[in-house]
Chains A and B, each alone.
Chain A
Amino acid sequence: MRRVTAIRNGTVIDHIPSGQAMRVLEMLGIGASTAVPVSLVMNVPSKKMGSKDIIKVEDRELNQSELDRLALVAPDAHVAIIRAYSVAEKLTINLGQEVVNVVRCTFSNCITTNLREPQPHRLKVVQRDPLQLRCHYCGRPQNLSELANNVL
């Protein structure tokens, strides 16, 4: 059963872990001020995942820095760029050992909270599923629910 119509041009983010779609939007900075149409379905049945969320953003193609942010919320999501109703490109999300200059540390007393400090913001991936990150500098575990506020 098709819950949302196919889009003509834009991006489809599929296989988002169930319930995470809102956080994906937050990380991508898609919200009240976004002018393009955005469709979101949550908790739909999935053969692979049991249930999943899907987001369709019309007339906008995700760039690399948006993919890097997506990796922090839905590292195994599938991202397809749609042009003229067909899949023009499939993008790969890469969550490596370290996330560099994507978000800054969530600990309020970390040295990197001084945004004039020029060295890169570095978060180490300690565990992938469920995701655990630690700051390279202060070593503090990251508060994942605050990451969206710390996007660079």
Chain B
Amino acid sequence: MAGLITMDDLTNEQILDILGDAERLLPVARGEIYLPLLQGRILGNLFFEPSTRTRMSFETAMKRLGGDVINLGDVKTSSVVKGETLYDTIQMVDGYTDIIAMRHPRQGAAQYAQDAAQVPILNGGDGAGHHPTQTMLDLFTIKQAHGHLDGLRVVLAGDLRYGRTVHSLSHALVRFGCDLIFASPDLLKMPEEIVSDLRSHGANVTETEDLYGSMAEADVVYMTRIQKERFADEDEYARCAGAYKLHARHLSEVKQDMIVMHPLPRVDEIDPSVDKTRHARYFEQAFNGVVARMALLCRLLGVPIPAKIEGGAL
């Protein structure tokens, strides 16, 4: 069975279908309705590098749907440390589970695992490569706020060079005709190959270092963490980090329905003063990870989601 390795594995129609499934599953994700669609199924969580939200939201998604989860556990105490290849690890877990969610520090690991496995692989991040389940929850959050995805104006800000989240999301947004504004320090610009790839798909892409000046017409401002370790010079880091620290006072001129998103964890790039504004969506976004992953688990396991979900409370 095919998994989800990159967003190219889904057509726009399939994306919208899955987002519709996710919408219907909201009461299940909130624990208001118990719907054991995945009872008897086992998810293998293989996180070869640290993850909080992705791993936990996969686990929550599976359990809310009545399924079970087994975890690789700490890589330091697993057979990986003894030198086991990814191929062998996958062969083993493939026999234990019905579906695998995986994060790995090496790029291409998810496709590699899919080629080795019989069960579907859900890519939870491979190096600086792809993170499609994050993209699905991001798209869900945007659609929830604006009612659609088409033709929106989206500012992506911060570390655009190393962030796999923004790479996957940019490709998906362009498929829905969104205009993209990349706001980043020069050192952390979106890789040239990605910008040219997006433009070759007809995208309207603007690059700037001025975050605040680019927000006035935006429908979405997607912030990312600027990582200190990327800078050789501490002063340079301080200067850049300061230019990408969103505060409530920066939001006075923005559109009423503009939303601020962040894949979390944040450090200083969104001041807590933004949390209380109508624009903040990052905590809902994190919650949406559960509902988006529920919809994906069902889809990849071939379990249809009822058109209307009702049922007894817990």
What is the interface of chain A, defined by CB distance below 8 A to chain B?
Answer: 105, 107, 109-114, 116-119, 135-141
Contact = CB atoms under 8 A, between A and B. Distances in A.
A107 to B, nearest CB: 7
Interface stretch (B100-108, B217-225, B231-239): B100-108
A117 B112 contact: yes
16 contacts: A105-B108, A109-B106, A109-B107, A111-B86, A111-B109, A114-B85, A117-B87, A119-B87, A119-B116, A136-B108, A137-B109, A137-B115, A139-B107, A139-B111, A139-B129, A140-B107
Contacts, number: 61
A39 to B, nearest CB: 39
Given A137-B108, A139-B130, 14 more contacts: A109-B105, A109-B127, A110-B108, A112-B112, A116-B85, A117-B112, A119-B112, A135-B108, A137-B107, A138-B108, A138-B129, A139-B6, A139-B111, A140-B107
Q: Classify the interface of chain A: helix, strand, loop or mixed.
A: loop
Nearest to A110: B108
Ranked nearest first, the 7 interchain pairs of A and B with the lowest CB-CB distance are A137-B108, A138-B108, A138-B107, A111-B106, A111-B108, A111-B109, A111-B112
Interface string B170-211: 000000000000000000000001000000000000000000
Interface of B: 6, 83, 85-87, 104-109, 111-112, 115-116, 126-130, 193
Contacts of B86: 111, 114, 117
A118 B107 CA distance: 16
A137 B112 contact: yes
Nearest to A117: B85
Contacts of A138: 106-108, 111, 126-127, 129
Contacts of B193: 141
Nearest to A107: B107
Contacts of B106: 109-111, 113-114, 138
Contacts of A114: 85-86, 106
Contacts of A136: 108, 111
B87 A118 contact: yes
A132 to B, nearest CB: 11
A81 B219 CA distance: 65
Which among A107, A110, A111, A141 has the highest number of chain B CB atoms within 10 Å?
A111
Contacts of B87: 117-119
Nearest to A114: B85
A140 to B, nearest CB: 7
Nearest to B114: A137
A141 B196 CA distance: 13
Contacts of A112: 108, 112
A133 to B, nearest CB: 14
A81 B137 CA distance: 59
Nearest to A138: B108
A118 B112 CA distance: 10
Nearest to A137: B108
B114 to A, nearest CB: 9
Contacts of A140: 107-108
A31 to B, nearest CB: 31
Contacts of B116: 119
Nearest to A116: B85
A110 B107 contact: yes
Contacts of B127: 109, 138
Nearest to B8: A139
B135 to A, nearest CB: 15
A111 B104 contact: yes
A109 B193 CA distance: 17
A119 B112 CA distance: 8
Which among B86, B108, B126, B193 has the highest number of chain A CB atoms within 10 Å?
B108
B85 A139 contact: no
A136 B5 CA distance: 12
